[in-house]
Structure 1
């Protein structure tokens, strides 16, 4: 009889609230160049929901029946195929497919080896610090200059702030409504802007906070009218990096809003969305892994769940992002 495992799967395109279910599926088989990973943790991310709704471009498309959800996670190498240098027992993180399951078959080239004692709630979300690191670099903001970050309480945004603080970059964190569960200034925000309590326009508030200097960069996870106001606050040569679209609203610009300030608007595509890590990435990955693993680097974990609690993990991710990152814990670690 073929061995089976538990996995969160879906058979149709739709809202993750409606189409996901827990199911017994066959254990994955590995071929040459692949490893069998015994999953220990996996994060729940907005991008996972885009995959479930079939909004990603090729080749990131679901295949039915029983498409396993989840694109990011960590686990212990249980077995290796031919031509694999990594050894069984190694803790690894990856961004690929099928992470919301007890086991995953992953091409070895996609794996990021981690120290054996790496905190599992961090190992399962390596996509977030890598994204935050790249967003900060893409913003091109220099020490002493000003960066605005929307969705200030989100996991990626809080990581951007902490990386920015290490580099002496001033950060304005924007949020729809402030709360006292997380002190963003302690994490590195120079100032915060509560959009529910604005007494003046966004541009006026930002210019006041920056002493008239304006913004040198924006990392935008939301969109909507506030994004247009922020763009009009960019100093000459500033840049907006779009990383998400939490708002269903649009923003409007005139050509002169961009042309007369030499502004650039660009998208951030996760560096391992289309292709795996390469050897030249290893030094920066080691640096990110080291910083992210330090106890004083804050991560906000809103819940650690077994696979059977996927409905709660999904609901918290969609409705209560302020709680922090939702994590699946499949099995004990090493």
Structure 2
């Protein structure tokens, strides 16, 4: 089988290689999956650079890249009740390949015919749903989304719209291929056009109403200025680190507003899905399957085109989401 691998820790632009490997076989409590699609995420690049904590560390040499994907079960090992032919999504390892072997407990069955661009990043949908829950933003209140052009942010946006939450999407620069207003944003704040007095601009766009929640993937000066626009008992959910800058916050601002700032690491980073999660996962799949719920993406690449796919995703993520699509 073909796979994108790396033998040493380093920049994804330098260490990845396309290689032919034996098709892995499923052992006890494992499943062999024929991969259909795998998303290319910032977290994949952290993994290649060995920046994740244990146990999410690559095994060198010959580590297959990729952490999220979807495919069809082809074989099951002893102790597995899942049936061959089932469409599944998972977050584990080795997804940038034509086949992967995955612990059965890591798999999430999806409805047959579930759209592949959504299946390949079902864990981003879970993250979007979880962060919206964590923010506790209510209908009629304002939610500020930084990195508004990112895939996760567009997912949060649509889930928030369904709950009648007002959304301010904040972007560095508007992208021609992505209409955030059409996806449900009440307003889009373009930082390139309004680099200063962000808190003043936020107040103008919200009609003077304070922001009840922030879901942030940037940090730095942007988050620092947004915090000035928060309401009493606002919640701030931090899940990314696009800015190299720090942000500052005085205890006065924290205490008198009773701000709640929390970090979000996606639900199944360390632990597999729990049996009690199944109703939520089925509900999320049903909610996001219709074409009205959009997961914008720029291109699907064959594994042979990994250099272009990785370069565009690593250096120009604002150009749009990219996937690997394996031959059915």
TM-score, with structure 1 as normaliser: 0.95
Say which is worse superposed, 320-329 or 221-230, in terms of deviation.
320-329
Following TM superposition, where does structure 1 have runs of at least 4 consecutive aligned residues deviating by more than 4 angstroms?
A: none
Q: What does 1:257-296 correspond to in 2, within 5 Å?
A: 257-296=253-292
Measured after TM superposition, the shift of residue 296 of structure 1 is 0.9
Of 236, 239, 259, which aligns to 2:235? 239
* CA deviation string 1:255-301 (max 9, x = no partner): 22211210011111100101111111111111111122111111111
Query: 1:241 and 1:10 mapped to 2: Cα distance?
Result: 33
1:45 aligns with 2:41: yes
Preserved CA contact (<8 Å) 1:153 1:322: yes
The alignment partner of 1:299 has SS state of: coil
In structure 2, the residue matched to 1:154 is 150
The alignment partner of 1:172 has SS state of: strand
1:67 aligns with 2:63: yes
* CA deviation string 1:134-188 (max 9, x = no partner): 1111111111101000011110001101000000000100001123322111111
In structure 2, the residue matched to 1:117 is 113
Of 163, 166, 187, which aligns to 1:167? 163
1:217 aligns with 2:213: yes
Measured after TM superposition, the shift of residue 320 of structure 1 is 2.8
Measured after TM superposition, the shift of residue 199 of structure 1 is 7.1
Say which is worse superposed, 100-109 or 120-129, in terms of deviation.
120-129
Query: 1:12 and 1:257 mapped to 2: Cα distance?
Result: 45
Preserved CA contact (<8 Å) 1:9 1:67: yes
The alignment partner of 1:101 has SS state of: coil
Preserved CA contact (<8 Å) 2:216 2:240: yes
1:195 aligns with 2:191: yes
Query: 1:17 and 1:196 mapped to 2: Cα distance?
Result: 28
The alignment partner of 1:78 has SS state of: strand
Q: What does 1:31-110 correspond to in 2, within 5 Å?
A: 31-110=27-106
Measured after TM superposition, the shift of residue 211 of structure 1 is 2.4
Query: 2:290 and 2:245 mapped to 1: Cα distance?
Result: 38
1:15 aligns with 2:8: no
**Structure 2: segments with no counterpart, 5+ residues:** none
Query: 1:64 and 1:197 mapped to 2: Cα distance?
Result: 45
Preserved CA contact (<8 Å) 2:64 2:96: yes
The alignment partner of 1:253 has SS state of: coil
Preserved CA contact (<8 Å) 2:143 2:215: yes
Of 201, 208, 217, which aligns to 1:205? 201
**Structure 1: segments with no counterpart, 5+ residues:** none
